[in-house]
Amino acid sequence: MTNESLYTRRRMLSLSGTAAAIGLAGCSGSQAESDGGSESTEEHSDSDGHNETESHDDSEDEHSEEEESHDDSEDEHSEEEESHDDEEEGHGEDSHHDEEVGDPTETAQVNMITTDGTYHFDPHVARVKVGGTVTFHNESGSHSATAYHPENDQPQLVPDGAASWDSSLLSEAGATFEHTFETEGVYHYYCTPHETVGMIGSIIVGEPDAHGQPALEEPPQDKPESVTKKISELNAMCNEALGHGH
């Protein structure tokens, strides 16, 4: 082989190697661009998917908040119903419209009670025979049993000629006070610290005629409405027990 032929062959091999290198470089570049585009697409897809997830979560949060708001509304409604039930129960504890007054007995006990901010005598109307004794028993709180009598600086709501009484304040649970009733008739009495909130009671002694009983006349008009209202209720009970209707 001549020197010229050998040179020509080496030149062609060199050119072929250069072309191959350029081709490989171009192919790698295209592959890189293709991979980059794919990554960009995947990132975009991931980004869109993430946004959609967040939007879905926000919707669920709003739905949860609506449920919580609805639950709170139900709780408030339940509390209102419980409060209404509590008020009805409190009213029932001091209710005496269905209380029955029995026949006269030798003795009777009247409890002096404080319950959930209410103050009352139980029973509201007691009944004993002439010469019978009533024991006032302090169950809770601090109370007195005091006759509506001029000697106690009160209007007369006891029979004419009847003796007055005043237990004074009984503060110890279990403390008692007794009074014996010698005069037939109807007696109203009250608790000195709780008169104006309606802690008033009645004693019927014997089988009196409802007519001519000072206690069963119109309530004293110089008393607060809460007092006159309670006395009117007691009068109705006493008249019913004595078979006298107005």
Structure tokens at 236: 């109705």
Instruction: Read off the pLDDT of residues 125-134 as tens digits, 9 standing for 90 and up.
Output: 999 999 999 9
What are the tens digits of pLDDT across the range 134-162? 999 999 999 999 999 999 999 999 999 99
What is the pTM (predicted TM-score) of this model? 0.63
pLDDT tens track for 166-176 = 999 999 999 99
Architecture field, domain 101-241 = Sandwich (2.60)
**Element holding 92 (H helix, E strand):** helix 3-93
Domain edges within the chain: 1-93, 101-241
- CA atoms within 13 Å, Cβ hemisphere of 194: 22
Q: What is the model's pLDDT at position 29? A: 45
Compute the distance between CA of residue 6 and CA of residue 15 in angstroms, rounded to an integer. 14
Q: Which residue has the higher pLDDT, 162 or 35?
A: 162
What is the reported pLDDT for 58? 53
Residues 61-106: pLDDT tens digits?
Answer: 555 555 555 455 555 544 544 444 444 443 334 555 578 888 999 9
